[in-house]
Protein backbone atom coordinates (compact mmCIF):
# COMPACT_ATOMS: atom_id res chain seq x y z
CA UNK A 1 0.00 0.00 0.00
CA UNK A 2 1.28 3.42 -0.86
CA UNK A 3 2.46 5.83 1.81
CA UNK A 4 -0.44 8.03 0.81
CA UNK A 5 -2.91 5.67 2.41
CA UNK A 6 -1.52 5.51 5.88
CA UNK A 7 -1.73 7.39 9.14
CA UNK A 8 -0.28 6.89 12.59
CA UNK A 9 -1.83 5.83 15.89
CA UNK A 10 0.35 6.62 18.88
CA UNK A 11 3.26 6.84 16.47
CA UNK A 12 2.62 3.47 14.86
CA UNK A 13 1.90 3.39 11.14
CA UNK A 14 -1.51 2.07 10.09
CA UNK A 15 -2.47 1.48 6.45
CA UNK A 16 -6.03 1.99 5.38
CA UNK A 17 -8.30 1.58 2.43
CA UNK A 18 -10.20 4.66 1.31
CA UNK A 19 -13.63 4.72 2.90
CA UNK A 20 -12.51 3.13 6.15
CA UNK A 21 -12.95 4.93 9.44
CA UNK A 22 -9.99 5.31 11.77
CA UNK A 23 -11.47 2.58 13.96
CA UNK A 24 -12.00 0.16 11.07
CA UNK A 25 -8.49 0.68 9.80
CA UNK A 26 -7.02 0.33 13.28
CA UNK A 27 -8.86 -2.90 14.07
CA UNK A 28 -7.99 -4.37 10.68
CA UNK A 29 -4.35 -3.58 11.39
CA UNK A 30 -4.55 -5.21 14.80
CA UNK A 31 -4.44 -1.95 16.74
CA UNK A 32 -7.03 -1.96 19.49
CA UNK A 33 -9.19 1.09 20.20
CA UNK A 34 -11.88 0.49 22.84
CA UNK A 35 -15.41 0.66 21.42
CA UNK A 36 -18.94 -0.51 22.21
CA UNK A 37 -21.53 0.83 19.79
CA UNK A 38 -19.45 0.01 16.73
CA UNK A 39 -20.00 -3.35 15.05
CA UNK A 40 -18.20 -4.38 11.86
CA UNK A 41 -21.41 -5.31 10.07
CA UNK A 42 -23.24 -2.03 10.63
CA UNK A 43 -22.78 1.60 9.82
CA UNK A 44 -21.21 3.60 12.61
CA UNK A 45 -23.38 5.05 15.35
CA UNK A 46 -20.97 7.23 17.29
CA UNK A 47 -22.88 7.33 20.56
CA UNK A 48 -20.95 5.48 23.27
CA UNK A 49 -17.89 7.72 22.77
CA UNK A 50 -15.56 5.04 24.13
CA UNK A 51 -13.55 5.23 20.91
CA UNK A 52 -12.84 8.95 21.39
CA UNK A 53 -9.33 9.69 20.17
CA UNK A 54 -7.37 12.83 19.43
CA UNK A 55 -6.88 13.37 15.71
CA UNK A 56 -4.42 16.10 14.80
CA UNK A 57 -5.07 17.71 18.14
CA UNK A 58 -8.86 17.48 18.03
CA UNK A 59 -11.16 15.12 19.90
CA UNK A 60 -13.39 12.87 17.85
CA UNK A 61 -14.91 9.40 17.59
CA UNK A 62 -12.63 6.98 15.79
CA UNK A 63 -15.66 5.09 14.48
CA UNK A 64 -17.07 8.09 12.61
CA UNK A 65 -13.97 9.90 11.40
CA UNK A 66 -12.76 8.84 7.98
CA UNK A 67 -9.17 7.69 7.83
CA UNK A 68 -7.06 10.23 5.93
CA UNK A 69 -3.44 10.17 4.83
CA UNK A 70 -1.07 11.59 7.37
CA UNK A 71 -3.45 11.84 10.31
CA UNK A 72 -1.76 11.75 13.67
CA UNK A 73 -4.01 9.87 16.06
CA UNK A 74 -3.51 9.52 19.78
CA UNK A 75 -5.46 6.77 21.49
CA UNK A 76 -3.68 4.69 24.10
CA UNK A 77 -2.74 7.51 26.46
CA UNK A 78 -3.32 7.71 30.20
CA UNK A 79 -5.59 10.71 29.76
CA UNK A 80 -7.76 9.13 27.08
CA UNK A 81 -8.00 5.86 28.96
CA UNK A 82 -9.01 7.73 32.09
CA UNK A 83 -11.78 9.40 30.09
CA UNK A 84 -12.88 6.01 28.79
CA UNK A 85 -13.01 4.63 32.32
CA UNK A 86 -15.29 7.48 33.28
CA UNK A 87 -17.53 6.81 30.30
CA UNK A 88 -17.72 3.16 31.31
CA UNK A 89 -18.55 4.12 34.88
CA UNK A 90 -21.30 6.36 33.52
CA UNK A 91 -22.77 3.45 31.58
CA UNK A 92 -22.54 1.19 34.61
CA UNK A 93 -24.32 3.53 37.03
CA UNK A 94 -26.90 4.60 34.49
CA UNK A 95 -28.27 1.08 34.20
CA UNK A 96 -28.61 -1.87 36.55
CA UNK A 97 -25.42 -3.78 35.92
CA UNK A 98 -24.88 -6.23 38.73
CA UNK A 99 -22.52 -8.60 36.99
CA UNK A 100 -22.50 -11.48 39.48
CA UNK A 101 -26.25 -11.87 39.03
CA UNK A 102 -26.29 -11.45 35.27
CA UNK A 103 -26.38 -14.34 32.85
CA UNK A 104 -24.39 -12.31 30.33
CA UNK A 105 -21.39 -12.11 32.67
CA UNK A 106 -18.26 -13.25 30.85
CA UNK A 107 -19.82 -12.67 27.44
CA UNK A 108 -20.65 -9.03 28.06
CA UNK A 109 -18.72 -6.40 26.14
CA UNK A 110 -19.40 -3.68 28.70
CA UNK A 111 -17.93 -5.84 31.42
CA UNK A 112 -15.07 -6.91 29.16
CA UNK A 113 -14.19 -3.29 28.35
CA UNK A 114 -14.26 -2.49 32.05
CA UNK A 115 -11.75 -5.27 32.70
CA UNK A 116 -9.62 -4.22 29.77
CA UNK A 117 -9.56 -0.59 30.89
CA UNK A 118 -9.07 -1.53 34.53
CA UNK A 119 -12.20 0.10 35.81
CA UNK A 120 -12.21 -1.03 39.42
CA UNK A 121 -15.45 0.50 40.69
CA UNK A 122 -18.60 2.27 39.54
CA UNK A 123 -17.51 5.47 41.28
CA UNK A 124 -20.62 7.56 40.57
CA UNK A 125 -23.94 7.50 42.26
CA UNK A 126 -26.20 4.80 40.84
CA UNK A 127 -29.32 5.83 38.95
CA UNK A 128 -31.20 2.57 39.68
CA UNK A 129 -33.38 3.21 36.64
CA UNK A 130 -36.85 1.80 36.40
CA UNK A 131 -37.50 1.34 32.71
CA UNK A 132 -40.13 -1.27 33.42
CA UNK A 133 -40.06 -4.92 34.45
CA UNK A 134 -38.18 -7.61 32.53
CA UNK A 135 -40.19 -8.37 29.41
CA UNK A 136 -40.45 -12.17 29.25
CA UNK A 137 -43.49 -12.21 26.96
CA UNK A 138 -41.56 -13.61 24.02
CA UNK A 139 -41.27 -17.42 23.96
CA UNK A 140 -37.60 -17.42 23.00
CA UNK A 141 -36.07 -14.13 24.10
CA UNK A 142 -36.26 -11.85 27.08
CA UNK A 143 -35.64 -8.16 27.33
CA UNK A 144 -34.27 -6.35 30.37
CA UNK A 145 -34.32 -2.66 29.53
CA UNK A 146 -32.51 -1.73 32.71
CA UNK A 147 -29.33 -3.23 31.29
CA UNK A 148 -29.60 -1.46 27.93
CA UNK A 149 -26.73 0.91 27.10
CA UNK A 150 -28.58 2.51 24.16
CA UNK A 151 -26.08 1.49 21.51
CA UNK A 152 -28.91 0.90 19.01
CA UNK A 153 -27.22 -2.23 17.64
CA UNK A 154 -30.50 -4.13 17.92
CA UNK A 155 -32.28 -1.21 16.29
CA UNK A 156 -29.85 -1.25 13.38
CA UNK A 157 -29.82 -5.06 13.07
CA UNK A 158 -33.58 -5.40 13.09
CA UNK A 159 -34.07 -2.58 10.62
CA UNK A 160 -31.14 -3.13 8.27
CA UNK A 161 -30.68 -6.91 8.29
CA UNK A 162 -33.84 -8.54 9.61
CA UNK A 163 -36.06 -6.04 7.78
CA UNK A 164 -38.43 -5.89 10.74
CA UNK A 165 -37.80 -2.65 12.63
CA UNK A 166 -38.76 -4.25 15.92
CA UNK A 167 -36.82 -1.79 18.11
CA UNK A 168 -36.60 1.99 18.54
CA UNK A 169 -35.09 4.28 21.11
CA UNK A 170 -37.75 6.52 22.63
CA UNK A 171 -37.67 9.33 25.11
CA UNK A 172 -35.03 11.95 25.73
CA UNK A 173 -31.93 12.40 27.85
CA UNK A 174 -31.58 10.09 30.83
CA UNK A 175 -35.15 8.92 30.22
CA UNK A 176 -34.21 7.41 26.84
CA UNK A 177 -35.24 3.80 26.64
CA UNK A 178 -35.88 1.00 24.21
CA UNK A 179 -39.40 0.45 22.83
CA UNK A 180 -40.63 -2.38 20.63
CA UNK A 181 -43.02 -2.37 17.71
CA UNK A 182 -46.23 -3.55 19.39
CA UNK A 183 -49.24 -1.60 20.58
CA UNK A 184 -49.01 -3.61 23.82
CA UNK A 185 -45.34 -2.67 24.19
CA UNK A 186 -44.48 -6.34 24.62
CA UNK A 187 -41.75 -8.13 22.72
CA UNK A 188 -43.97 -11.22 22.46
CA UNK A 189 -46.38 -9.26 20.28
CA UNK A 190 -43.72 -8.36 17.71
CA UNK A 191 -42.47 -10.54 14.83
CA UNK A 192 -39.11 -10.86 16.62
CA UNK A 193 -37.41 -14.28 16.50
CA UNK A 194 -34.41 -15.77 18.30
CA UNK A 195 -32.81 -16.36 14.92
CA UNK A 196 -32.89 -12.64 14.11
CA UNK A 197 -29.62 -10.82 13.80
CA UNK A 198 -30.97 -8.43 16.41
CA UNK A 199 -31.05 -11.27 18.94
CA UNK A 200 -27.30 -11.76 18.83
CA UNK A 201 -25.85 -8.25 18.63
CA UNK A 202 -26.68 -6.89 22.06
CA UNK A 203 -23.32 -6.24 23.74
CA UNK A 204 -24.84 -6.46 27.22
CA UNK A 205 -27.44 -8.56 28.98
CA UNK A 206 -30.45 -6.60 27.74
CA UNK A 207 -31.57 -8.96 24.98
CA UNK A 208 -31.06 -12.55 26.10
CA UNK A 209 -32.03 -15.74 24.31
CA UNK A 210 -33.86 -18.04 26.71
CA UNK A 211 -32.89 -21.59 27.68
CA UNK A 212 -29.23 -21.29 26.74
CA UNK A 213 -28.17 -19.76 30.02
CA UNK A 214 -25.16 -21.31 31.72
CA UNK A 215 -24.40 -23.67 28.81
CA UNK A 216 -20.91 -22.41 29.45
CA UNK A 217 -20.17 -21.96 33.13
CA UNK A 218 -18.91 -18.63 34.42
CA UNK A 219 -15.15 -18.76 34.19
CA UNK A 220 -15.17 -20.39 30.78
CA UNK A 221 -16.92 -17.71 28.81
CA UNK A 222 -15.70 -15.58 25.97
CA UNK A 223 -13.95 -12.84 27.90
CA UNK A 224 -13.09 -14.84 31.01
CA UNK A 225 -9.87 -16.23 29.62
CA UNK A 226 -8.62 -13.53 27.31
CA UNK A 227 -9.19 -9.79 27.10
CA UNK A 228 -11.58 -8.33 24.57
CA UNK A 229 -8.58 -6.56 23.07
CA UNK A 230 -7.36 -9.92 21.76
CA UNK A 231 -10.74 -11.06 20.46
CA UNK A 232 -11.67 -8.36 18.04
CA UNK A 233 -14.46 -9.15 15.64
CA UNK A 234 -13.07 -8.45 12.25
CA UNK A 235 -14.61 -6.24 9.62
CA UNK A 236 -15.08 -8.99 7.03
CA UNK A 237 -18.78 -9.97 7.36
CA UNK A 238 -18.05 -13.52 6.11
CA UNK A 239 -16.31 -14.31 9.37
CA UNK A 240 -19.45 -13.66 11.35
CA UNK A 241 -21.84 -16.60 11.97
Partner 1 sequence: MQGLDDTLGQILTAHRKDPRRLVQILRAAQSEAGWISPEIAAFLADELCMPISRIHAVVQFYAFLYDRPVGRYRVLFSDNIIDRMLGSVALRQHMQRRMKVGRGAVSADGLVSIDTTSCTGMGDQGPALMINNRQIVRLTTRRIDEICDLMRDGAPLEDWPSHYFTISDRIRRAESLLGTSYVPGKALAQAIELGPQGVLDDLRRSNLRGRGGAGFTTAMKWELCAEAEAETRYIICNADEGEPGTFKDRVLLNSFAERIFEGMAIGGYAIGARHGVIYLRGEYDYLRAPLEMKLAAMRQRGLLGTNVLGVPGFDFDIEIQMGAGAYICGEETALIESLEGKPGRPRIRPPFPVTRGYNDMPSVVNNVETLCKVVEVMRIGGRAYALLGTKQSTGSKLISVSGDVARPGVYEYPFGVRIQTVLDDCGATDVAAVQISGAGGMTLAPHEFGRRIAFEDVPTSGAFMVFNRSRDMFEVARNFMHFFAHESCGFCTPCRVGCALSASIMDKIAAGLGAQYELNELTRLGAVMRTSSHCGLGQTAGNAVADTLQKFRPDYERRLMAGDFAPAFDLDAALERARQVTSREDAQAHLEGVA
Q: Does 24 bind ligand SF4 (CB under 6 A)?
A: no
Q: Which residue among 44, 73, 80, 154 contacts ligand SF4 (CB under 6 A)?
A: 154
- Reading phi first (left if > 0) and then psi (alpha if -120 to 50, else beta), residue 236 is in beta
Could you say which of ligand SF4, partner 1, ligand FES, none residue 35 binds, taking C-beta under 5 to 8 angstroms by partner kind?
ligand FES
Q: Does 201 bind ligand SF4 (CB under 6 A)?
A: yes
Q: Does 46 bind ligand FES (CB under 6 A)?
A: yes
Site string for partner 1, 101-130 (x = CB under 8 A): -----------------------xx-x---
Q: Does 143 bind partner 1 (CB under 8 A)?
A: no
Q: Does 1 bind partner 1 (CB under 8 A)?
A: no
Q: Does 36 bind ligand SF4 (CB under 6 A)?
A: no
Cβ–Cβ contacts within 10 Å for residue 189, how many?
A: 14
Task: Reduce the DSSP state of residue 146 to 3 states and report it.
Answer: helix
Please, what is the minimum distance in Å from the beta carbon of residue 215 to partner 1? Answer: 31
- The beta-carbon contacts of 218-223 under 8 Å, at least 24 apart in sequence, are 218/105, 218/106, 219/106, 220/106, 221/105, 221/106, 221/107, 222/106, 222/107, 222/112, 223/106, 223/107, 223/108, 223/109, 223/111, 223/112, 223/115
- Site for ligand SF4, rule CB under 6 A: 148-154, 178, 201-204, 206-207
Amino acid sequence: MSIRNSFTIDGERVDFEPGQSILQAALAAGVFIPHLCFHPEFSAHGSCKLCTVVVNGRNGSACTIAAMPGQEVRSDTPELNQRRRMLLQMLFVEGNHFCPGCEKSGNCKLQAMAYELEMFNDHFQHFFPDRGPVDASHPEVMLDRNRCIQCELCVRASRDIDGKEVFSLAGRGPASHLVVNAASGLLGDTPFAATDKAAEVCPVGAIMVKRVGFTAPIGRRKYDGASIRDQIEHPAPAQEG
